Chains A and B, each alone.
Chain A
Amino acid sequence: GEEVAQTPKHLVRGEGQKAKLYCAPIKGHSYVFWYQQVLKNEFKFLISFQNENVFDETGMPKERFSAKCLPNSPCSLEIQATKLEDSAVYFCASNDGNRWDTEAFFGQGTRLTVV
């Protein structure tokens, strides 16, 4: 598609439940990035992929968070056993990776509320 598509738009989970978020990058884009935005403040980088391979996972919490980008499927970010502090908007972005300074295109985000 011509835009980064994130689903669902809103997700409510009870503490301890699992949350799974999806991202379809722009067609032809080989890099996918996940960011977390808490309370409309700064964006925290979580993880990036080059096609189906993890490119940079330096921001990924060691526990409970996992992500995948499999061929012919939307990328996913999964949070096991959610905590109240996981409440945030999760943004996915993609770029084509053809230039060293290419811009990233962001989706509209998934708002996760943990109650």
Chain B
Amino acid sequence: SQQGEEDPQALSIQEGENATMNCSYKTSINNLQWYRQNSGRGLVHLILIRSNEREKHSGRLRVTLDTSKKSSSLLITASRAADTASYFCATGTGANSKLTFGKGITLSVRP
């Protein structure tokens, strides 16, 4: 299976609820990044967490990283309809290395 496997594949929630998305990976990494993609457009960078970090916050986003389990989670609190998008995790293995992406999670936030 692919490096950077997210679950669930699709998530539908009500506005105001929290959304949690998980990502697992297989090889050693030096950073993990989460991106958002709206309707097949370009990727928007959300947050980067380094391999020596365990948790990071940015606004309504909270990312955790467990290198022992090779997994990460993205929590979006107090979701909004505008958060409806596909979310991808991507891992980097070295300086300026390519990113290896998972298949993505489709999040639908119902107004």
Chain A positions near chain B (C-beta within 8 angstroms): 4, 31, 33, 35, 40-43, 45, 48, 50, 55-56, 58-59, 89, 91, 93, 95, 97, 99-109, 111
Contact = CB atoms under 8 A, between A and B. Distances in A.
Given A42-B103, A42-B104, A103-B33, A59 B92 contact: no
A101 B98 contact: no
Contacts of A42: 2, 4, 88, 101-104
Interface of B: 2, 4, 30-31, 33, 35, 37, 40-45, 48, 50, 86, 88, 90, 92, 94-104
Given A41-B104, A43-B101, A45-B99, A108 B48 contact: no
B45 A109 contact: no
Given A105-B45, A109-B40, 7 more contacts: A40-B86, A42-B4, A89-B40, A93-B43, A103-B45, A106-B35, A108-B42
